[in-house]
Amino acid sequence: MNYDGPIVLVVMDGVGLAPAGPGNALSLAHTEFLDYALKTFPNRPLAASGEAVGILPGDMGNSEVGHNALGTGQIVKQGIAKVEDAFKTGEIFKSRAWTEIIANLKQNPSEKTLHFSGIFSDGNVHSSLDHLEKMIRRADTEGIEKVRVHLVFDGRDVPPFSEPKYILRLENFLAPFNQKGRDYRIASGAGRMVAVADRYENDWGMVKKGWDMFHGVADRKFSSAETAVDELRKSDNTLQDQYLPPFVIVDDSGNHVGPLKKGDSFIYYDFRADRAIEIAMCFTYRDFPYFDRGKYSPDDITFAGMTEYNSDTHVPELQLVPPVSFDNALNTFLGEKGVSQLAVSETVKFGHITYYFNGNSYDKAQNETHLKIDSDTAPFDTRPWMKSAEITDAVLDNLEKYRFVRVNYPGGDMVGHFAEIEPTIAALEAIDIQLARLAKRVDELGGMMLITADHGNAEELLDGRGEAKTSHSKNPVPCIFYDTTKNRNKYVLNGFVSDPGLSNVAATVATLLGFTDFPETWHEPLIRIK
């Protein structure tokens, strides 16, 4: 096909399809453009969770695997599915990373400590509590005397006030080891939106709070993690797990029970990279300009990540599970064809529409440009429109220069994670306005828009009991062929794709751009030429 204007791929982050109801912000929002597009143009739902994006059956999708599938046209076993295999085969404990972590501790076992940290839940999006428990059990088998766990509370991929049950689970798990003479304890904690787990270098202050917490520095001190959560919620009973302030656990003398010190080993057990890379950089970078680490040197701590968090810089060097690899990403294919490309989003989703979309690489193809709009640092439920207008402005300013444009609007996900109906409605209505702006200019230029999402969230803000649901959903996502050109008569939906998913989008984009010689590793396009 030959379009006069660009092909625009719009990712409405976190906007899935579900029946109308009190928890479905999409059905409650006034979305004039989306309603019109769904009624007027070809569309079909796409699978965006479980095996359709390379993770375990029944697991909710996420932005990382969703953009991988969108941008590479492939389903590659990754995330929790890949890690689960490594535990089942025992390969994880044969890895260089595990070997060096344990060897370091055995040099002086009574003085050195094995530290763990990561998103603390069984949400299985960034991490798994099962994995933490398996590694602690193995550490005991290896004769490790001291273990400390630094909790990064979730409340985002699991219910917002659920951490007490996870604390109790871990305390009960650690008790038998301590009864036989080990010293395994929780050392500190903080919410994931307050400390440690920043992403895309949006707020290094968050990371510093986590760094300080690991080293025993925090304004709040408690005798146990359970007491900490109870006391913090007494002053604010609306305080969600993800926003709990940093604290450390102290003994009867007021001393921190487990500060990180020179010579220790540290495992960050997240398998998803976006909220792990910055803390890994803290441990591994020699030239570190982001905040003062004191007298720290990367030689001081033996640090390992669950996997590689940046495939371009290969951080961290020690990885318990080898990283996934993708060949023939869409951007590379189009670059070799001479297609000019533009990717635009704001900070909180910029890495998804660039790094993850491009198969876990920040390398740009020939004639590929990335534009980042700085995100607000204020809570997104207080500014639910986020940078939707500014993202659109940037796209409109550049639309005539590129044949393929991809854009991510984060509001459905970033606001949806608060599980607050009104702000999420506002986020979706803001996106709808911007889609109408984009559509008008795309029509003028003779292009088309493919509107989809990476996973669900905003359409399911209440669980089956009617309680707030902050996590992603397992629902399918929309895929709308907004096309007012004569090309619309040249293709039909591909009936041979019986179970379409996000991995069918790359070949679809290539087909719309006029290419049919795409890699054999890609899944079929969603359309066929008449």
* Active-site residue, 63 included: yes
Candidates 27, 49, 63, 117; catalytic one: 63
- Of 93, 257, 95, which Cα lies nearest the Cα of 174? 257
Angle at 55 between CA 324 and CA 80, to 5 degrees: 70
Distance CA 511, CA 505 (A): 10
DSSP letters along 80-99, please? HHHHHHHHHHTGGGGSHHHH
Which backbone phi and psi does 296 adopt, to 5 degrees?
-65, 140
DSSP letters along 293-349, please? -TT--TTSSEEEESS-SBTTTTBSS-BSSPPP---S-HHHHHHHTT--EEEEEEHHH
Rg (C-alpha) for the chain, rounded Å, is 23
Residue type, position 467, single letter: E
- Give the single-character DSSP code of 113: -
Q: Mapping DSSP to helix (H, G, I), strand (E, B) and coil, where does residue 371 land?
A: strand
Q: How many Å separate Cα 175 from the centre of its chain?
A: 32
Q: Mapping DSSP to helix (H, G, I), strand (E, B) and coil, where does residue 222 land?
A: strand
Distance CA 157, CA 151 (A): 15
| Residue keyed to tokens 């917002």 | 160
Q: What is the largest CA-CA distance in the chain?
A: 78
Token duo for residue 253: 């003398």
Contacts of 391 (CB under 8 A, 6+ apart): 344, 345, 346, 373, 407, 408, 409, 434
**DSSP strands (E only) in 101-201:** 114-120, 146-153, 183-191
Active site residues: 63
